[in-house]
Chain A
């Protein structure tokens, strides 16, 4: 079937890129290579991974790596190898093989090869382990992964599986069971991720998890899961709420990860706000941190801080729900107004400039902001005579102050999500999308683009201000250095990684980008380097993000042939006009 097109291409004089891609298409082994690669990977996971124990600042890394056996990072390569073996045998025995299965197997293979590769790379580059001190395990496992990948390619000419659909309803009980099991598995994975202290092992865990998640996505499991979840939306949300409420109780009095989760909650709030501006309305705002900073300073100045020049107190709830968001939103509108007539790329630069102006102003307004020193010793908020930092005891469980912040943020996020969903479905939300897609057409349809854009700026700044206000209390201090350009980029990276325009995606992006650096603290030097490259790679290979909105996916990533043809046609019509 592929032969005629190949000949035609050659006849036209194939370019080097085409020749390369043909070569890539031909790189494959028989399907048996998949389970074989799985066995090799299994064996590689059992071999020793380093010749002598590796220590980071005296702490042994990934357990007994200088031994035969499993454990540590090798648990996770084992998991992938077993997955390749089991699923490989399954596909080998099945009568109707599909290219979709091949793609799924290929993803397992890639992660099985990538896991030891990344692990070895990190050890050599950042922990000064010599390549010679690595054991045979990583190399053998890598070879197993490549074997799986090459074997999986043998299925690329098979017909694709029919497009996945949401699983139909069999019975209420099965539906509910699916929802409960899926939610518990997700929650369990989250807890497990927190448990793993060792950075090397966490790297393995993360790669294995990502690989398996991608595999399940290829197999259409998420689309299938959407069925039971959508039918029982209320139940699923209630379950999620219960699990999130229970989270502090799983930490056995250890508050560190609750603090990190609270921090993640702050980022979720801010990212949801930025998502309105960039995702919904399509206005690239690079000075977003300014509004976060304005919210934080508002809370700091009115929060009875010990080290401050302004002694003016406003009750906390009033600050979080009204004062900080309103002040930030006013600035959002003020700073947004002059940029309204600008094209997208000018807008980016101007907002960036505004971000810097706000930071420099905070830095220079000594009499109010205490300049570079910032405002510190901001006390925990007091609500109705009770200090949030004090925590409380419930049914024998002690709820620490951090957990109170965590619960506060949960409530704020729930409120924000509800608001955003209502907004997106409203006249305003539809107008945002219209302005994003085609401003001229939107204006012609009677949309007042000026007001709509200002509303986007204002709404985005609103949530940033809210987030900043809680941040000031959580960290007990604010200073201009905290609100620099990299912070704006970080929040933008969260939005882009998760999925521009899709609130659940944005939440996921914010959580991943808060926890990952926290888990990989040993490599914090290169954090921003990784963000930079990640932005390029995401835009290049998955511009719609991890959890795209259905609409975005179609827009940005027309992989289906019909979609590609359609968009090509549209493009031609437009550029020809």
Chain B
């Protein structure tokens, strides 16, 4: 029983950063039906921007150990800088190809993913880098399981951001414009919506969420490397498909489910099969229920 709760807690925590990446996948797919392969890289860059900001802080302000100020600044920097990457991707790699055959943007997305990974590898570091413990390292017991405060924070933040995002899309003018663009870009354009700007906005929001996810994952895993975005991105995509791509609630549900399934799979089948397990889920979902658990909804 203790073991079960422990695994559940681990899985939910993992699911929280999968969810933050999956939201970006699902939003972009919902609006332009493109799998943004490079989205996992934005997540990775979020983690590296966090690390870079922290190192700057260490030299400039003498940050060290856990510090709430450092945490807030690091999260803010990741939130502010990752959208730049997302928007440039959209502007230079995807927008020029919006009317090209579908294979073309997929290949540029792949190239962009590769280029971003290698940019970090060549100009920053190829190695495993330790990520600082920005969050107080305290834990408590629930039902015999050891739960860290960081985990609660991660899950809470992910849920909060999902809630804010949903409210934004449901209630604001821009959110309405996003829904209209997802429904039918041509008609949306006729209604006076600047479709290009709305698509850029989608990339901005998705990237910011992935950036936050990157910092959280960095703290959770304790280390970052330049290819961390590849597998994480694939899993987040799996989560988005599992929940029903284009569907925001679905992406979050799928992410938590996948996190839990994966932790249990790893615990009972052996850790080395963990990734196989996640891809297996993806394939099974696509074969037996390609619309996902909550169904595809193009408009959020």
Residues of A whose CB lies within 8 Å of any CB of B are 278, 282, 284, 286, 338-339, 341-342, 344-346, 348-350, 352-354, 356-357, 360-361, 363-364, 485-486, 489, 492, 496, 500, 525-526, 528-529, 531-536, 539-540, 543, 555-556, 571, 575
B77-108 vs A, CB cutoff 8 Å, 1 = contact: the mask equals 00000000000000011001101111111111
Q: Closest approach, in angstroms, between the C-beta of B52 and any C-beta of chain A?
A: 19
Q: Is B5 an interface residue (CB 8 A)?
A: no
A536 touches B290 (CB 8 A): no
B112 touches A341 (CB 8 A): no
Q: Is B17 an interface residue (CB 8 A)?
A: no
Q: Is B55 an interface residue (CB 8 A)?
A: no
- Our pick among A341, A357, A535 for the contact of B108 (Cβ within 8 Å) is A535
Most buried by A among B111, B234, B273: B111
B290 touches A341 (CB 8 A): yes
Tell me the complex Cα distance, A361–B276, Å: 8
Q: Is B64 an interface residue (CB 8 A)?
A: no
B114 touches A489 (CB 8 A): yes
Q: Is B237 an interface residue (CB 8 A)?
A: yes
Supposing A349-B234, A360-B275, A531-B114 touch, asked if A543 and B104 sit within 8 A by C-beta, the answer is yes
Tell me the complex Cα distance, A460–B241, Å: 27
B282 touches A531 (CB 8 A): no
Instruction: Give the residue name and chain of the A residue nearest to B274 (CB).
Output: A360
B115 touches A532 (CB 8 A): yes
Q: Which of B10-28 contact A (CB under 8 A)?
A: none
Q: Is B110 an interface residue (CB 8 A)?
A: yes
Interface size class of B (residues with CB under 8 A): 35 or more
A363 touches B272 (CB 8 A): yes
Tell me the complex Cα distance, A107–B106, Å: 30
Tell me the complex Cα distance, A155–B222, Å: 61
Q: Add 12 more A-B contacts to A489-B110, A536-B115, A556-B100 (CB < 8 A).
A: A339-B283, A344-B106, A345-B35, A348-B35, A350-B283, A356-B234, A528-B118, A529-B119, A532-B115, A535-B107, A536-B92, A540-B97
Supposing A341-B290, A349-B35, A349-B237 touch, asked if A528 and B114 sit within 8 A by C-beta, the answer is yes
Q: Closest approach, in angstroms, between the C-beta of A129 and any C-beta of chain B?
A: 18
Q: Closest approach, in angstroms, between the C-beta of A533 and any C-beta of chain B?
A: 5
Q: Which residues of B contact A356 (CB under 8 A)?
A: 231, 234, 275-276, 279
Tell me the complex Cα distance, A525–B122, Å: 7
Tell me the complex Cα distance, A324–B80, Å: 51
Supposing A356-B279, A360-B272, A532-B114 touch, asked if A338 and B103 sit within 8 A by C-beta, the answer is no
Instruction: Give the residue name and chain of the B residue nearest to A527 (CB).
Output: B118
Q: Which residues of B contact A531 (CB under 8 A)?
A: 111, 114
Instruction: Give the residue name and chain of the B residue nearest to A364 (CB).
Output: B272
Q: Is B34 an interface residue (CB 8 A)?
A: yes
Instruction: Give the residue name and chain of the A residue nearest to B279 (CB).
Output: A353
Instruction: Give the residue name and chain of the A residue nearest to B29 (CB).
Output: A345
Q: Which of B238-295 contact A (CB under 8 A)?
A: 238, 241, 272-273, 275-276, 279-280, 282-283, 286-287, 290
Supposing A492-B110, A526-B122 touch, asked if A352 and B234 sit within 8 A by C-beta, the answer is yes
Tell me the complex Cα distance, A299–B103, Å: 33
Q: Which residues of A contact B287 (CB under 8 A)?
A: 338, 341
Q: Which residues of A contact B273 (CB under 8 A)?
A: 360, 364
Tell me the complex Cα distance, A361–B111, Å: 26
- Our pick among A361, A525, A534, A543 for the contact of B100 (Cβ within 8 Å) is A543
B107 touches A346 (CB 8 A): no
Q: Which residues of A contact B102 (CB under 8 A)?
A: 344-345
B275 touches A540 (CB 8 A): no
Q: Closest approach, in angstroms, between the C-beta of B2 and any C-beta of chain A?
A: 29
Tell me the complex Cα distance, A276–B88, Å: 33
Q: Which residues of A contact B96 (CB under 8 A)?
A: 540
Q: Closest approach, in angstroms, between the C-beta of A160 and any C-beta of chain B?
A: 25
Supposing A352-B234, A360-B275 touch, asked if A342 and B290 sit within 8 A by C-beta, the answer is yes
- The total of interchain contacts (Cβ-Cβ below 8 angstroms) comes to 125
Tell me the complex Cα distance, A370–B230, Å: 26
Q: Which residues of A contact B117 (CB under 8 A)?
A: 528, 532
Tell me the complex Cα distance, A304–B291, Å: 48
Q: Which residues of A contact B122 (CB under 8 A)?
A: 525-526, 529
Supposing A348-B35, A360-B272 touch, asked if A339 and B286 sit within 8 A by C-beta, the answer is yes
Q: Which residues of A contact B279 (CB under 8 A)?
A: 353-354, 356-357
Q: Which residues of B contact A532 (CB under 8 A)?
A: 111-118
B107 touches A360 (CB 8 A): no
B110 touches A286 (CB 8 A): yes
Q: Closest approach, in angstroms, between the C-beta of B137 and any C-beta of chain A?
A: 32
Q: Closest approach, in angstroms, between the C-beta of A88 and any C-beta of chain B?
A: 33
Q: Which residues of B contact A500 (CB under 8 A)?
A: 103
Q: Closest approach, in angstroms, between the C-beta of A270 and any C-beta of chain B?
A: 17
Instruction: Give the residue name and chain of the B residue nearest to A539 (CB).
Output: B108
Q: Which residues of A contact B286 (CB under 8 A)?
A: 338-339, 342, 346, 350
Q: Closest approach, in angstroms, between the C-beta of A456 and any C-beta of chain B?
A: 14
Instruction: Give the residue name and chain of the A residue nearest to B96 (CB).
Output: A540
B112 touches A284 (CB 8 A): no
B106 touches A556 (CB 8 A): no
Q: Closest approach, in angstroms, between the C-beta of A559 and any C-beta of chain B?
A: 14
Tell me the complex Cα distance, A344–B34, Å: 10
Supposing A346-B241, A536-B93 touch, asked if A353 and B115 sit within 8 A by C-beta, the answer is no
Q: Closest approach, in angstroms, between the C-beta of A564 and any C-beta of chain B?
A: 12
B280 touches A346 (CB 8 A): no
Supposing A286-B110, A360-B275, A534-B111 touch, asked if A350 and B118 sit within 8 A by C-beta, the answer is no
- Our pick among A344, A353, A533, A575 for the contact of B282 (Cβ within 8 Å) is A353
Instruction: Give the residue name and chain of the B residue nearest to A278 (CB).
Output: B103
Q: Which residues of A contact B99 (CB under 8 A)?
A: 571
Q: Which residues of B contact A533 (CB under 8 A)?
A: 111, 115
Q: Closest approach, in angstroms, between the C-beta of A301 and any C-beta of chain B?
A: 21
6 contacts between A and B (CB under 8 A): A345-B33, A364-B273, A492-B107, A526-B118, A529-B122, A532-B112
Q: Closest approach, in angstroms, between the C-beta of A168 and any C-beta of chain B?
A: 36
Q: Closest approach, in angstroms, between the C-beta of B32 and any C-beta of chain A?
A: 11
B280 touches A357 (CB 8 A): yes
Q: Which residues of B contact A486 (CB under 8 A)?
A: 114
- Our pick among A346, A534, A556, A571 for the contact of B290 (Cβ within 8 Å) is A346
Q: Closest approach, in angstroms, between the C-beta of B182 and any C-beta of chain A?
A: 16
B108 touches A496 (CB 8 A): no
